[in-house]
Amino acid sequence: MLTFAVKYAKNIYSQQGEDGIIEECLKRIKPKLKSAVEFGGADGFYCSNTAALRSTWKVYMYDMQEYSPHVQSMMVTPDNVNDLPECSILSIDIDGNDYNVWKAYNGNPDIVVIEINSSIAPDHGRPVSDLNHGTAYKPMVELGIHKGYFLLCHTGNLIFIKDEYRKLFPEVIGSGLDNYELYFNRSWLK
């Protein structure tokens, strides 16, 4: 929800407030496994959704090039995504194939942060996944629901939480599909 994102947004390394949103989610969920996986990790800090956890969590970061000691070189694809370590937070930001990679992923993290093409209106009938332009809001929300998650908010990324924690987030209303105006941050539209 937009109100949740605004209330808890805080950047340490993240770009659009994801650090603060994740911090609030972790206070509520209290996961036992303190492990995060992020791909599209760049240098391991800049615009990272998980770098702020590094002092108390095991954070695995991957990118196509090894930009720093915090990032392993690996191109994550639907064929190898299930080779990644188990995690409580999964952050996917690979600029195009995000949908197909999450769809192929068999893990069940508590929180999923995933990039969409936020320049596409949430009610637009864009193809599910376009490797050159990414995935629109609606197909990604539908995938999240299918995989057992509810949409928490949109920051440019979509942040999903496992359905079993829904009662811990009373602010959430509906699914984000029919009431997308409560979730979609329209400032991204071109």
- Do residues 24 and 31 lie in contact, with contact meaning Cβ atoms separated by under 8 Å? no
65 falls in which pLDDT band (50, 70, 90)? confident
Whether residue 126 has pLDDT greater than 90:
no
pLDDT at 186: 86
- Which of 88, 111, 90, 85 is CA-nearest to residue 32? 88
Condensed to tens digits (0 to 9), the pLDDT of residues 9-52 reads 999 999 999 999 999 999 999 999 999 999 986 787 888 999 99
| Measured distance CA(170)–CA(109) in Å, rounded | 20
Q: What pLDDT is attached to residue 76?
A: 93
Among residues 90, 97, 104, 103, which one has the least CA distance to residue 162? 90
* % of the chain with per-residue pLDDT over 90: 73
pTM here is: 0.95
Q: Is the pLDDT of residue 57 over 70?
A: yes
Exposure pattern of 164-177 as b/e (b: 16+ CB <10 Å)?
Answer: ebeeebeebeeebe
Confidence at 70, pLDDT banded by 50, 70, 90: confident
Mean pLDDT of 132-155: 93
Domain residues of the chain, as ranges? 2-34+81-188
C-alpha to C-alpha distance for 116 and 139, rounded to whole angstroms: 10
Q: Is 38 exposed, middle or buried (0-12, 13-18, 19+ CB in 10 A)?
A: buried
Average pLDDT for residues 87-116, to the nearest whole number?
Answer: 95
